[in-house]
Amino acid sequence: MTQTAQERAHVSAPASGITLSRLMPWIIAILFLLIMPILFGSNSAITIMNQMMITIVFALAYNMLLGQGGMLSFGHAVYMGVGGFMCMHIIRMVEKYGIPLPLPVLPLFGGLFGLGLAMIIGSFSTRKAGTVFAMISLGIGELIAACSVIIVVFFGGEEGISGDRTYGLPFFGIEFLQQKEVYYLLAFWTVLSTILMYLFSRTPVGRMANAVRDNPERAEFLGYSARWVRYFSFCASGFFAGIAGGMFAINYEILTGEQLSLIQSGAILLITFLGGVGLFFGPIIGAIVFTLLQTVLSLQTEIWQLYVGALFVAAVMFFPGGLAGVLMMHVPAIRLGKLHLLIVPYIRTLVPAVLCIIGVAVILEILFHVRHSAPGDNEMTLFWITFDSHNPVAWAIGAVLALGGFWLARMSAPDLRDAWHRANTLDGGAA
């Protein structure tokens, strides 16, 4: 019997060891990171990408709690923020006393301070999961955010603290004067942190984090203290959040109390959820999409947060797996080689749906303009068209787009559903 079990172990157990196909996504991602600044060399593009990488590390760290450990935190910005503040202070000290500390290792210190804080807070907050944990995280988040105004020496009060990353010793001749140099430094830390967080999820404590998330009581009867498993996940998450803080300090050279605030903690929850908590790479997608929305959309409209909020609500209601979950839904169809069946129905449903969304956005934008622009300023520009916001025709166009798009999308939805069904069933199969 042992013999057969071993034979089967080779057949159906998940293959262990490192294979090229497993390394492929990582290699592609690293190459991608390397060539991005060459493709998009403008300073603004690099600024956006730097912001993305910081958010990716933070979101992945956050998902160690939310997705993998089942702990909903409302105050995780604190660990990133404290890591960042500490790094800022280190930068200033290096500047003041001429300590020979190269800038590239700075995020490690951010991580260590994030870890230290997480070790203290986690010692009592991880006793229970669920509401108790969420409430404690909220309380601690508020507490430390309030400290930023009170302890001015450390947090710098309202204006925060700032430093100069170029004052340290040059690192192999690199002074980090240029955005591009910062980009590659952040890319290095992003890749390193992502690999380490991925490996963490494969370790015994990472696996047990999933078990404790699913069923803490059963985990206790397997010899593991649910509380200690949560504690270790929490500390690891605090460490990587601190690294993100260090990256932030290097990139922006300033930290303010805003970095500790509930707004930041809420944003990271939103980003992680939008990307998908169930899959390791979900938060990466969330971070990229959110940063794009934040930077691109906020240039175009003042009510961009409304759209992001609507997207978040839609994700929670219709796509609980997030964007990553939506992508993974298509894996069976790809395996069956039937993805092409979905292309036409997708176009026929999604194009009207996009029109509908544009229509709604037009109405919202006009409404916003009418209510908030100075009296007499009736002129507004939307989608490169300038028109009178008090003109009923503009309203009518918006309404037609919204209603017409909605109607067309609804008409073709059944076709999409059929196509979806066909794409996900075997030929000639009964199911």
Partner 1 sequence: MTVPALQLDGLRKSFGKTEIIRGIDLSISAGERHAVIGPNGAGKSTLFNLITGRFPQTSGTIRLHGHDLKGLAPFEINRMGLSRSFQITNIFPKMSVFENVRCSLLWSQGYKYSFWNMVSRSRELTEGAMEILDQINLTSRAELPAGVLSYAEQRALEIGITIAGGADVIMLDEPTAGMSHSETDYIVELIRKVTEDKTLVMVEHDMGVVFGLADRISVLVYGEIIATGRPEDVRGDPKVQEAYLGAALEAEH
Q: Which of 24, 27, 99, 222 binds partner 1 (CB under 8 A)?
A: 222
Pick from 97, 172, 221, 383 the residue near partner 1 by CB under 8 A: 221
Nearest of 194, 234, 164 to residue 53 by alpha carbon: 194
What is the phi/psi pair of residue 379, to 5°?
A: -90, 130
Nearer to partner 1, 69 or 168 (CB): 69
DSSP code at position 297: I
The answer to whether 182 and 250 have CB atoms below 8 angstroms apart is yes
Whole-number Å distance between alpha carbons of 252 and 84: 10
Q: Which stretch binds partner 1 (CB under 8 A): 57-65, 186-194, 225-233, 394-402?
A: 225-233
13 makes contact with partner 1 (CB under 8 A)? yes
List, as own/partner pairs, every contact residues 116-123 make where C-beta atoms lie below 8 angstroms and the sequence separation is at least 24, other chains included: 117/78, 117/79, 117/82, 117/238, 117/242, 118/79, 118/234, 118/235, 118/237, 118/238, 118/239, 118/241, 119/235, 119/238, 121/234, 121/238, 122/230, 122/231, 122/234, 122/235, 122/238, 123/231
Q: What would the two tokens of residue 129 be?
A: 């999961």
Minimum separation from the CB atom of position 15 to partner 1 (A): 8
- Select 175 or 220, whichever has its Cβ closest to partner 1: 220
State yes or no: residue 2 binds partner 1 (CB under 8 A). yes
CA angle, corner 244, sides to 128 and 152, nearest 5?
85
Binding mask 25-54 for partner 1 (x = CB under 8 A): ------------------------------
Query: Distance between CA atoms of 395 and 359, rounded to whole angstroms?
Result: 9
Work out which of 43, 178, 225, 381 binds partner 1, going by CB under 8 A.
225
Residue closer to partner 1 (CB basis): 17 or 429:
17
Q: Which of 227, 204, 253 is nearest to 92 (CA)?
A: 253
Interaction residues for partner 1, span 176-215 (CB under 8 A): 199-200, 202-208, 210-211, 213-215
| Shortest reach from residue 198's CB to partner 1, in Å | 11
DSSP 6-59: HHHHHHHSPP-S--HHHHHHHHHHHHHHHHHHHHS-SHHHHHHHHHHHHHHHHH
Contact residue for partner 1 among 224, 252, 273, 281 (CB under 8 A): 224
Amino acid in position 238: G
Using CB under 8 A, pick the residue from 219, 289, 323, 361 that binds partner 1: 219
In the bound complex, what is the minimum distance in angstroms from residue 10's beta carbon to partner 1?
A: 9
Backbone angles phi, psi at 37, to 5 degrees: -65, -20
Question: Residue from 26, 40, 124, 228 that binds partner 1 (CB under 8 A)?
Answer: 228
CB of 18 to partner 1, least distance (A): 9
Q: Does 324 bind partner 1 (CB under 8 A)?
A: no
* Residue 112, helix vs strand vs coil: helix
Least spacing, CB of residue 230 vs partner 1, in Å: 11
Min separation Cβ 308 and partner 1, Å: 28
Q: Which residue, 236 or 401, has its beta carbon nearer to partner 1?
A: 236
254 vs 260: CA distance, rounded Å: 13
- Answer yes or no whether residue 123 interacts with partner 1 by CB under 8 A: no
Nearest 5°: the CA angle 183, 117, 184 is 10
Binding mask of the shown chain, residues 237 to 256, with x at each position contacting partner 1 by CB under 8 A: --------------------
What are the helix (H) ranges across 253-281? 262-275
**Does the footprint of partner 1 cover residue 385 (CB under 8 A)?**
no
Instruction: Report the interface residues with partner 1, using CB under 8 A.
Output: 1-2, 4-6, 8-9, 12-14, 16-17, 199-200, 202-208, 210-211, 213-215, 217-226, 228-229, 232, 236
